[in-house]
A and B are shown apart, each in its own frame.
Chain A
Amino acid sequence: MNAVKEIIWSVINNNINLEAEKWLEDFKQSPDQSLQVAKVFVMLPRKTGKLSVAINEDQQKALDTAGYGYIRNWTIDRLSRVWLLSNLSLPDKEQLYSTLERLFLSAEVNEAVALYSALPFLPYPEIWVKRCAEGIRSNIGSVLEAIMENNPYPAAYLDEAAWNQLVLKAFFTEKNIKLIVGLDERANLQLALTLVDYAKERWAAGRQVNLQLWRMVGRFINAEIFEDLKIGLQHYDKTEQRAIALAVAESECQPAKDYINTFPELKLALADGSLNWNSL
């Protein structure tokens, strides 16, 4: 993590002026950060500006390798705030927790985005689980995106119930499902059942289903889910059918596989390997 923080600092350095750099470094050196952190955190965009960050090729490569390549889409104030939070030196875990909790409680939108974006970079990852689950209850789009998209923290630390809530809410709020980190690794039966119910609700309302939903269902297809999939295969459009076929291909459910083979077009698409979750 320290190597990553150093690259981040080098990116920040390239994107702010000398005055802002000195201001951030002064804070980092200051003997008692707890008194100043709230003010520094709030005032930060006034010093750094709010432009999108520019990242050079070497930095991008290093970040990609470490799994944080996505920060190239951030603005400089967001990146600097995350850096600031991840480098806090407070006497102990309790102080760190209470300091950040206070920031969360009075956060405006961009502050909240930065706070949740910082979760993967904070020490004592286990103490932020509840806060992350609370964030998923937000209705503010950009806050949800900060938690759901390109954020490795939830998949690594949330319990199953909170994780499932995150995925379900991402569908409900039309987030970019492909950007959820750990989607395939954390697929589970309970989530698959809930998502199938959700698909049936959408069908009943005459609405479409996000095709990525079936990606989390495949491995858990059982006799009960199979019955529901038949409805989708019989009544819905080609793209929906292809997504369901792909899910079935990933399953162990032989009756479902046999059933798919009765659709020549689907059988062919699966056989020639042209179907995958990213192309859907």
Chain B
Amino acid sequence: MCCSSSIARDKATMGEPEAFDISAVKGMKFFDPHVHMTSRTTDDYQAMADAGVVALIEPAFWLGQPRTGLDSFRDYYSSLIGWERFRSSQFGIKHYCTIGLNSREANNESLAEQVMEILPLFIYKEGVVGIGEIGFDDQTAAEEKYYRLQLELAKEAGLPVQVHTPHRDKKKGTQRSMDIALEHGLDPYQVIIDHNNEETVKEVLDRGFFAAFTIYPFTKMGNERMVEIVKQYGAERIMVNSAADWGISDPLAVPKTAALMKMRGLSDQDIELVTYRNAITAFAQSGQIDEADFNAQADLTEKFEGNTILRGGQQPRPDKSSIIIS
């Protein structure tokens, strides 16, 4: 009983497409500290670059279905520091990542054990700006065990921690994540608590942690609510991200939120803090972020003078408005 009515998609439930006007934030630059580019297309990279995203962080996460062996974890981590980093550079976006064992897969204990053994191989790599995303999903004992072990790893390596908070029973899960981080002696200023909402933000900020907000259609934060949060709590230690992944999500969530903030009267300074600067401040504690690298594209010609070929494999732009593909 599928699709029998017509090829035309059902506008009533799927909605009309909308154009997004970036002009309100033209010339601003953005940093998306949580986006799973492995699941995204080159169109997304192009659109992000056009909208002013100059750098991003891709946290290691779940791929949509569980991995069954150690090698698929190894290959995934390798792709975050290899192929995906290169793909991003082709669009002039500096790609960083965080490395960790995600909460869902912590529940496969025999595999989790092996993953813990290879993590130290990856966390000292260039451009690895933290341990993440780790934390709770179902809030099981196994999740807690591997969360704690990875907090210890972060402490040893002096890396920030990117904490995924659960969708279900979020408030308690968030409190518990913070309690445990403090129990392990982490400085809250080195811990980014992610996927906050109106119910969690106050305590996260009061206890000295960074509070990240995921602007994600239907299930997480909407950006109108986000504007209100910044109005209420100020811009200190707050950052927004898209967490765009394999689900219906929006890789332009950060620039769009900035545009909305501008239209709703927030100051340029506050917008810059929550869509760029605070994320850099938090994750640069890894020693792995150099803003000079964001504009690496610009000096390509200088560096390889006399060579007209585009270096670094930058991608030319196809003409999307044309029916002709050449």
**Which A residues fall within an 8 A CB radius of B?**
38-39, 42-43, 45-46, 52, 73, 105-112, 139-142, 145, 173-176, 206
B91-138 interface with A by 8 A CB criterion: 121-122, 124-127
**Contact of B81 with A109 in the complex, beta carbons under 8 Å:** yes
Q: Does B287 contact A (CB under 8 A)?
A: yes
**Contact of A106 with B121 in the complex, beta carbons under 8 Å:** yes
Q: Does B307 contact A (CB under 8 A)?
A: yes
Q: How far is the CA of A173 from the CA of B314 in the complex (A)?
A: 11
**Contact of B310 with A109 in the complex, beta carbons under 8 Å:** no
11 additional contacts (CB under 8 A) given A43-B124, A142-B86: A45-B126, A73-B304, A106-B74, A108-B78, A108-B82, A108-B126, A109-B86, A111-B125, A140-B86, A141-B311, A206-B326
B71-90 interface with A by 8 A CB criterion: 74, 77-78, 81-83, 85-86, 90
28 chain-A/chain-B pairs, Cβ below 8 angstroms: A42-B126, A45-B126, A73-B303, A73-B304, A105-B78, A106-B78, A106-B121, A107-B82, A108-B82, A108-B85, A109-B81, A109-B82, A111-B125, A111-B126, A139-B83, A140-B82, A140-B83, A140-B86, A141-B90, A141-B311, A141-B312, A141-B313, A142-B312, A174-B309, A174-B310, A175-B309, A176-B307, A176-B309
Q: How far is the CB of A170 from chain B (nearest CB, A)?
A: 11
**Contact of B125 with A42 in the complex, beta carbons under 8 Å:** yes
**A38: chain B residues within 8 A (beta carbon):** 121
Q: How far is the CA of A107 from the CA of B84 in the complex (A)?
A: 13
**Which B residues fall within an 8 A CB radius of A?**
74, 77-78, 81-83, 85-86, 90, 121-122, 124-127, 287, 303-304, 307, 309-313, 326
Q: How far is the CA of A45 from the CA of B287 in the complex (A)?
A: 11
Q: How far is the CA of A176 from the CA of B86 in the complex (A)?
A: 19
**Contact of A141 with B86 in the complex, beta carbons under 8 Å:** yes
Specify the chain A residue showing the minimal Cβ separation from B81: A108
Specify the chain A residue showing the minimal Cβ separation from B83: A140
Q: How far is the CA of A11 from the CA of B326 in the complex (A)?
A: 48
Of B78, B86, B127, B287, the most chain A CB neighbours within 10 A belong to B86
Specify the chain A residue showing the minimal Cβ separation from B312: A141
Q: How far is the CB of A102 from chain B (nearest CB, A)?
A: 9
Q: How far is the CA of A108 from the CA of B303 in the complex (A)?
A: 22
**B124: chain A residues within 8 A (beta carbon):** 39, 42-43
**Contact of A108 with B309 in the complex, beta carbons under 8 Å:** no
**B326: chain A residues within 8 A (beta carbon):** 206
Q: How far is the CA of A111 from the CA of B74 in the complex (A)?
A: 16
Q: How far is the CA of A142 from the CA of B310 in the complex (A)?
A: 12
Q: How far is the CB of B293 from chain A (nearest CB, A)?
A: 9
- Report the number of A-B residue pairs with Cβ-Cβ less than 8 Å: 56
Contact of A46 among B83, B287, B304, B311 (CB under 8 A): B287
Q: How far is the CA of A46 from the CA of B304 in the complex (A)?
A: 25
Q: How far is the CA of A118 from the CA of B312 in the complex (A)?
A: 20
Specify the chain B residue showing the minimal Cβ separation from A110: B126
**A46: chain B residues within 8 A (beta carbon):** 287
**B287: chain A residues within 8 A (beta carbon):** 46
The 3 closest A-B pairs by CB, nearest first: A141-B313, A108-B81, A140-B86
**A43: chain B residues within 8 A (beta carbon):** 124
Q: How far is the CB of B72 from chain A (nearest CB, A)?
A: 14
Q: How far is the CA of A206 from the CA of B86 in the complex (A)?
A: 29
Specify the chain A residue showing the minimal Cβ separation from B326: A206
**Contact of B85 with A109 in the complex, beta carbons under 8 Å:** yes
**B90: chain A residues within 8 A (beta carbon):** 141
Q: How far is the CA of A112 from the CA of B85 in the complex (A)?
A: 13
Specify the chain B residue showing the minimal Cβ separation from A39: B124
**Contact of B82 with A112 in the complex, beta carbons under 8 Å:** yes
Q: How far is the CA of A213 from the CA of B121 in the complex (A)?
A: 42
Q: How far is the CA of A86 from the CA of B93 in the complex (A)?
A: 33
Specify the chain B residue showing the minimal Cβ separation from A108: B81
Q: How far is the CA of A264 from the CA of B127 in the complex (A)?
A: 58
Q: How far is the CA of A121 from the CA of B324 in the complex (A)?
A: 49
**B127: chain A residues within 8 A (beta carbon):** 108
**B313: chain A residues within 8 A (beta carbon):** 140-142, 173
Q: How far is the CA of A39 from the CA of B157 in the complex (A)?
A: 12
Specify the chain A residue showing the minimal Cβ separation from B310: A174
**B121: chain A residues within 8 A (beta carbon):** 38, 106
Specify the chain B residue showing the minimal Cβ separation from A174: B309
Q: How far is the CB of B191 from chain A (nearest CB, A)?
A: 22
**A111: chain B residues within 8 A (beta carbon):** 125-126
Specify the chain B residue showing the minimal Cβ separation from A142: B312
Q: How far is the CB of A113 from chain B (nearest CB, A)?
A: 11
Q: How far is the CA of A240 from the CA of B125 in the complex (A)?
A: 46
Of A43, A106, A142, A176, the most chain B CB neighbours within 10 A belong to A106
**B311: chain A residues within 8 A (beta carbon):** 141, 145
Q: How far is the CA of A240 from the CA of B122 in the complex (A)?
A: 48
Specify the chain A residue showing the minimal Cβ separation from B123: A42
Q: How far is the CA of A101 from the CA of B162 in the complex (A)?
A: 31
Q: How far is the CB of B294 from chain A (nearest CB, A)?
A: 14
Q: How far is the CA of A46 from the CA of B326 in the complex (A)?
A: 45
Specify the chain A residue showing the minimal Cβ separation from B314: A141
Q: How far is the CB of B273 from chain A (nearest CB, A)?
A: 28
Specify the chain A residue showing the minimal Cβ separation from B90: A141
